[in-house]
Amino acid sequence: MRDEELIEAAKTAAAMAYAPYSKFRVGAVVLAADGSLFTGSNVENAAFPSTLCAEAVAIGSAVSSGVRKIDVIAVACLDGDQNCFPCGQCRQRMREFGTEKVIVTDKAGRTHRHDLSDLLPHSFGPEDLPSP
């Protein structure tokens, strides 16, 4: 699937976001290693620490369907005029499932593909834990 198609799917997911407080709608699409797609949108909560990021929702959907390897995640924001990058917690979630590429859009709507290792340098992963 082309990057632009993944971003369009992320925009469709963003349109479903529940963002009554920030008015900042975000959508994400996970492309699993087996080629399956999973979407997510941000879900806000009056108790802000309880808010779910779109990426976390999409990853959770993929994992609950048995996915353990994610190749690409595309993220799109419908509101605001900044680039739409995943937060640190979501980058760590991506790392857990071996995500290699993250696709985002810039202010002009152009897509950009990044290596997760560039967005999360010197990351900590499962292989860093002691062997059982």
Which residues are catalytically annotated? 55
**DSSP at 43:** B
N residues, the chain? 132
Compute the distance between CA of residue 119 and CA of residue 114 in angstroms, rounded to an integer.
Answer: 7
CA dihedral 20, 110, 13, 21 (to 10 degrees): -10
Residues 6+ apart with CB under 8 A from 105: 7, 76, 77, 83, 84, 111, 112
Task: Mark out the alpha helices in 23-115 (DSSP H runs).
Answer: 54-64, 88-96
